[in-house]
Amino acid sequence: RIARHARTPSARHAPFRSSHAFNTAMIAQRASTTRTIATPTRATEARRARVVANAADRKMWLPAPYKAPAHLDGTIAGDYGFDPLGLGSDPTRLKYYQEAELMNARWAMMAVAGIVGTEIAGIEPRWWEAGTEDYGFPPQALLAVQLPVMGYLENKRIQGWLATGSSGVNETFPFDPMGMGSKDEKMKLKEIKNGRAAMIAFVGIVVQGIVYREGPVAALKDHVANPFGCNMATNIMNIPVNLA
């Protein structure tokens, strides 16, 4: 009987002990959850701080207090926050514009190199006269062939870009024979900066050729020989006379 009375209090207090253990486990779990949640929060704050610091160090096309649009966050090579019309606010269109700028930049770099190279080498005809030369076949036939061929290739390029994010006709693209790496951010920046300079140079070369019938090398020689009498200001003032 004494043994039964000794066991009875132990059995009677068992639920309280179980409840105490349960509460202790819940408190420990909450503390662990709090620590788990707090860690990514600190990491997120650190990332935000880095983003703010990088944004403060970014070069903009306009000085402070100008702020770049929200869709231009500095992740694109050569991003200086230039989008006054908000054309790239749509993410899909922004990617397309980025690809279009890169393609035109590459064409411009090849065009400028070809124009300057042929003029230095003295190769005829001059670039603005190339379309008037007789190449032994009718220009109408050339146009009839070029339109469908180039249209097909451009269509395949766009389809490949939409599917893979890289411009190309087949699996051999992107083109990187020297292994310089399209993932190199410095090379991406150099390419787009040189491409933009080439696009501006090409526009200047075209205007110079239309107005003065001179190539860029000849125009540079004229400027060096007479910098005050042959420069951009005097050329703009004489455009009506030269066109007449």
Q: Is 101 annotated as a binding residue?
A: yes
Q: Can you read off the two tokens belonging to residue 4?
A: 């039964």
Distances (CA, A) of 73 to 59, 101, 118, 168: 12, 18, 41, 27
Q: Could you give the CA distance from residue 188 to residue 181 in angstroms, rounded to a whole number?
A: 9
Q: Which amino acid is located at 67 in the chain?
A: K
Q: Could you give the CA distance from residue 6 to residue 18 in angstroms, rounded to a whole number?
A: 19
Q: Could you give the CA distance from residue 242 to residue 244 in angstroms, rounded to a whole number?
A: 5
Q: Is 54 annotated as a binding residue?
A: no
Q: Could you give the CA distance from residue 201 to residue 181 in angstroms, rounded to a whole number?
A: 27
CA torsion sign for 125, 129, 134, 135 is positive
Q: Is 238 annotated as a binding residue?
A: no
Q: Could you give the CA distance from residue 198 to residue 107 in angstroms, rounded to a whole number?
A: 9
Q: Can you read off the two tokens belonging to residue 99?
A: 């690809």
Say whether 136 sits in a helix, a strand or coil: coil
Q: Is 71 annotated as a binding residue?
A: no
Give the H or E element holding residue 153: helix 139-164
Q: Is 196 annotated as a binding residue?
A: yes
Q: Is 35 annotated as a binding residue?
A: no
Q: Is 140 annotated as a binding residue?
A: no
Q: Is 221 annotated as a binding residue?
A: no
* Residue numbering of the annotated binding site for chlorophyll b: 106
Binding residue numbers: 101, 106, 190-191, 194, 196, 208, 223
Annotated binding-site positions for chlorophyll a: 101, 190-191, 194, 196, 208, 223
